[in-house]
Amino acid sequence: MSVRSLMIVVLTLAFGGSAAVGVNSFLKNPPNPKGDVVSVLIAAVDMARGGNVTSEMLKSKDYPKDMVPIGALTKPEEAIDRAIAIPLVKDEPVLDAKLSPKGAGRGMAALVPSGMRAYTIQTPNVAQGVAGFILPGNKVDVLLSVDDGVMNGIKQVAGGTTTMLLQNVEILAVDQKTVAPAENKMDAKELRSVTILVAPQQANLLTLAQSKGKLYLALRNLKDNNAAKTHPATLDELRFHEELPWDERAKSVLEALGKALAQRPPAPTPVAQTPKAPQAPPTVAIRTIRGSIEGNVLVQMPSNSSTNSQPAGALGARN
């Protein structure tokens, strides 16, 4: 074997041995990740709305420091004994915003934000609107229906009135249940009350409404936060009201728009104007008499745009 070949073999064995020693050392002593990760509390089980957090419901998981969710809790004492305002699923980070404030207590009171009120509508009429599909956490509109009556000898609106009293209010509980059942439907026969989240003045309106009329609920899409533009419905309006389906109404609007555009007169096409040729200045004939000889002299008058103040020359001579 030549010296060159021997050196290649020796260098190969040296480099290979060094690499093996380095890998073995890395596996036995991995780099310390301290400071690069944060231990975050996550749900060990599904956590239903309205319950209280216990230590058995929590566990920890390391998150990269730059990927920790905003508001995530890191210590068990920050979450234990707090009510669950928004349901959490297993392995979901426990956020401060999904729990009731510290010291808010337990039960329904812990789910009511400061400045708001929990108001219970105790009437079977709430079941007639959506047939038991109202669940805790849903958003609804509250409708008030008032029959006609006599007040101070004056008859009110004939036939009664229905008004959208409140809009986009949250359902805190259906009957005594603050958590939606697995089948996502409540038995309408057992639906005796609905508790909603309202402002103090709205609670005043509901109290008077329950004593003077009947309340109904209309279910909303959870992402629909727009105000509905409605007006009170009366029996006189209902008697002769015939409303088209939504697609037919949209079709009629498009047809009316198309007709309006078709009847619109076309815009006039601009015509290029040909520049006029300059007109010749006017001429004046002057009669001349020299002895017994008469003649005419044509004199060209100066134009209006001319700046020359001298008289124009004669265009014709004597005859």
Structural domain boundaries of the chain? 1-30, 37-110, 114-239, 279-319
Where does the pLDDT of residue 189 fall: very low under 50, low under 70, confident under 90, or very high at 90 and above? Answer: low
User: pTM for the full model?
Assistant: 0.56
CA distance to 176, 178, 196, per residue, from 171 (Å): 12, 9, 4
- Asked whether residue 276 carries a pLDDT value surpassing 80, the answer given is no
Terminal C-alpha separation, the chain: 138
For 35-61, what is each residue's pLDDT tens digit?
588 999 999 999 888 788 999 999 999
Residue 59: its H or E element: strand 58-64
- Asked whether residue 174 carries a pLDDT value surpassing 60, the answer given is yes
- Say how far residue 77 (Cα) sits from the centre of its chain: 37
Q: Name which residue leads in pLDDT, 29 or 119.
A: 119
DSSP state letter for 72: B
* C-alpha span between 281 and 57 (Å, rounded): 107
The counts of H helices and E strands in the chain are: 5, 12
Where does the pLDDT of residue 239 fall: very low under 50, low under 70, confident under 90, or very high at 90 and above? Answer: confident
Question: Which of 55-69, 166-180, 239-253, 294-308: highest mean pLDDT?
Answer: 55-69
Where does the pLDDT of residue 182 fall: very low under 50, low under 70, confident under 90, or very high at 90 and above? Answer: low
Report CA Rg, the chain.
46
Query: In this structure, is the dihedral angle defined by the CA atoms of residues 180, 185, 188 and 190, taken in order, positive or negative?
Result: negative
Q: How much is the pLDDT for 124? A: 62
For 2-21, what is each residue's pLDDT tens digit?
666 767 766 676 667 677 76
Q: Are the CB atoms for 281 and 312 separated by under 8 Å?
A: yes
Architecture of domain 37-110: Alpha-Beta Complex (3.90)
Neighbouring CB atoms inside 10 A of 196's CB total 25
For 58-106, what is each residue's pLDDT tens digit?
999 999 988 899 999 999 999 998 888 888 999 999 999 888 887 776 7
Q: Are the CB atoms for 256 and 265 separated by under 8 Å?
A: no
- Asked whether residue 183 carries a pLDDT value surpassing 60, the answer given is yes
Burial class of 224 by CB neighbour count within 10 A (0 to 12, 13 to 18, 19+)? exposed
Where does the pLDDT of residue 151 fall: very low under 50, low under 70, confident under 90, or very high at 90 and above? Answer: very low
